[in-house]
Chain A
Amino acid sequence: MGDLCRYLEASALRFPERVAAVDEDGTELAYEALERRASRIAAFLVEHGVRPGDRVALVLPKCVAGLTAIFGILKAGAAYVPVDWTGPAERVQSILEDCGVRVVFLDRRRTGLHTGAEILILLSANTGSHEGAAAGSFSWEQVLEHAPLEPGAIPRRPDDLAYILYTSGSTGVPKGVMLTHRNATSYVDSCSSVFDPVETDRFSSHAPFYFDLSILDIYVPIKHGASVHLIPDDLGKNPKDLARFIAERRITVWYSTPSILALLAQFGDLGRYDYASLRLVLFAGEVFPVKQLRLLTSLWPAPAYYNLYGPTETNVCTFARIPLPVPEDRTEPYPIGWPCSHCAALVLDPGDPSAAAGVPAGVPSGPEGLLYISGPSVFAGYWGRPQETAAAFMERDGTRWYNTGDVVKRHPDDGFLYVGRRDRMVKRRGYRIELGDIESCLYQHPGIGEAAAIAISNPESGVRITAFLSAVTEEPPSIIEMKRYCHEHLPAYMSPDAFVFLPRLPRTSTAKVDYQVLSRSVSQSEAKAAP
Chain B
Amino acid sequence: MDNVKEEIRQYILSEFLPGEKPSNLRDDTPLRTSGILDSMATLRLVGFVEERFGIEVQAHEASVDNFDRIETIASFIQSKAAGQS
Contacts and interface: CB of A to CB of B under 8 A. Distances in A.
Query: Are A and B bound to each other?
Result: yes
B17 A480 contact: yes
B81 interface: no
A238 B34 contact: no
B25 to A, nearest CB: 7
B47 interface: yes
Central interface residue in A241, A483, A486, A497, by most chain B CB within 10 Å: A483
Interface string A230-254: 0000000111110000000000000
Given A484-B35, A501-B19, A478 B24 contact: yes
A139 interface: no
Contact of B24 (A238, A239, A479, A500): A479
Nearest to B14: A529
Given A483-B34, A484-B34, A237 B39 contact: yes
Given A479-B17, A483-B17, A499-B19, A240 B59 contact: yes
Contacts of A241: 59
A312 interface: no
B35 A267 contact: no
B25 A480 contact: yes
Given A239-B43, A498-B19, A480 B38 contact: no
Contacts, number: 50
A71 to B, nearest CB: 30
Interface residues of A, number: 22
Given A267-B43, A479-B19, A498-B19, A484 B36 contact: yes
Interface in A468-501: 478-480, 483-484, 486-488, 492, 495, 497-501
A263 interface: yes
Given A478-B21, A498-B18, A501-B19, A483 B39 contact: no
Given A483-B36, A484-B36, 7 more contacts: A238-B39, A479-B19, A479-B20, A483-B34, A484-B35, A487-B35, A495-B38
15 contacts: A237-B39, A238-B59, A239-B43, A267-B43, A479-B18, A479-B19, A479-B24, A480-B20, A483-B17, A483-B34, A484-B34, A487-B35, A495-B38, A498-B19, A500-B19
Interface of A: 237-241, 263, 267, 478-480, 483-484, 486-488, 492, 495, 497-501
Nearest to A529: B18
Chain B facing A: main interface SS:
loop
Contacts of A267: 43, 47
Interface string B24-44: 110001000011101110010
